[in-house]
Amino acid sequence: MFYGDVYRSDRGDLEGRKVKDMKKINLKISGMHCSSCAMNIDFELEDLGGVKSAKTNYAKAICEVEFDEEKVNLEDVVKTIKKVGYKVE
Ligand SMILES: [Cu+2]
């Protein structure tokens, strides 16, 4: 199974303190046939607690998800995508 690049984004708030790390991943999605499929995935993922953002690109067949590892894990993200009918490669 291909999970793409896994990396962390470090961000500071205005006072320069470190805010909680979010995990950002790129997943390769298959089974999408139009741009509303991509919107469907984003909608479901953003409904999942702990997911900060989901950006699915239909043309590139990738989904960029930013999430809080303490609240949700990669498996849940993958499960959610599968639940709506798409495959994660
Ligand atoms: Cu579609």
Quote the number of domains for the chain. 1
**Do the domain assignments include residue 17?**
yes
**Do the domain assignments include residue 68?**
yes
Three-class secondary structure of residue 8 per DSSP: strand
Residues 6+ apart with CB under 8 A from 43: none
**Do the domain assignments include residue 73?**
yes
Residues around ligand 1, an ion, CB closer than 5 A:
33-34, 36-37
Instruction: Give the CATH number, domain containing residue 69.
Output: 3.30.70.100
pLDDT digits (tens, 9 = 90+) for 15-73: 555 566 799 999 999 999 999 999 999 999 999 999 999 999 999 999 999 999 999 99
**Do the domain assignments include residue 1?**
no
Structure-block tokens of residue 71: 């609240």
**Do the domain assignments include residue 15?**
yes
Q: How far is the CA of 20 from the centre of ligand 1 (A)?
A: 34
- Please report which confidence band the pLDDT of residue 2 belongs to, taking 50, 70 and 90 as the band edges: low
**Do the domain assignments include residue 35?**
yes
Range of the domain at 14: 6-88
The CA distances from residue 12 to 17, 24, 64, 68, in Å, are: 5, 16, 21, 16
Q: How far is the CA of 6 from the centre of ligand 1 (A)?
A: 27
